[in-house]
């Protein structure tokens, strides 16, 4: 489910509420997999390469891998999805983006007084990221940690 269309400045959460207004546009379609809860307690993140998709778009698409992020010390996997296999250049670009994003997020967390390590820990198999997640249950109250 797409929460942030490619090129958007608005970061929305799973409920559609604006969480953050970015000074830079998002270079990818960014969203979540509503069937899973990631280790940080929010819906499992997914990035979709390709053309811009509208906010709220739901699609079934293959995850070719995942990037493991650490945000305030919490593991926050990001599935990397595309209709076609990623080229080596696309994979390098995604990793470069998330290394930069981790530094920016670390500065933002510092300004907000939020502690914990922020880093891009690299690429992993999509199955590893999904195995670390848990099934989304109807009783899930939403993320325990504010982002």
* Closest listed residue to residue 55, CA positions, set 84, 26, 91: 26
Write out the two tokens for 91: 């994979």
CB of 45 closer than 8 Å to CB of 61: no
Token code pair at residue 12: 């929305």
Question: pLDDT (tens digit, 0 to 9) for every residue of the chain, 147 residues total?
Answer: 999 999 999 887 767 788 778 888 999 999 999 999 999 888 999 999 999 999 999 999 999 999 999 988 889 999 999 999 999 999 999 999 999 999 998 998 899 898 889 999 999 999 999 999 999 988 888 777 665
Question: Which three-class secondary structure state does DSSP give residue 6?
Answer: coil
In CATH terms, the superfamily for domain 2-134 is Inorganic pyrophosphatase (3.90.80.10)
> What pLDDT, on a 0 to 100 scale, did the predictor assign at position 49?
97
Position 89 scores a pLDDT of: 97
Say how far apart CA 63 and CA 38 lie, in whole Å. Answer: 15
Q: What is the DSSP letter of 69?
A: E
Domain regions of the chain by residue span: 2-134
Residue 146 pLDDT: 62
């Amino acid at each position: 489910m797409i929460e942030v269309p490619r090129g958007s400045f608005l970061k929305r959460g799973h409920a559609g509420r604006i969480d953050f207004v970015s000074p830079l546009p998002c270079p990818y379609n960014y969203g979540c997999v509503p069937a899973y809860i990631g280790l940080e307690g929010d819906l499992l993140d997914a990035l979709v390469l390709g053309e811009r998709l509208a906010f709220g778009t739901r699609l079934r698409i293959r995850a070719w891998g995942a990037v493991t992020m650490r945000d305030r010390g919490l593991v926050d996997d990001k599935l990397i999805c595309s209709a076609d296999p990623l080229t080596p250049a696309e994979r390098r670009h995604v990793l470069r983006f998330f290394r930069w994003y981790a530094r920016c997020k670390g500065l933002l967390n510092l300004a907000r007084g939020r502690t914990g390590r922020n880093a891009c820990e690299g690429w992993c198999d999509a199955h590893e990221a999904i195995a670390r997640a848990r099934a989304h249950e109807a009783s899930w109250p939403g993320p325990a940690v504010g982002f």
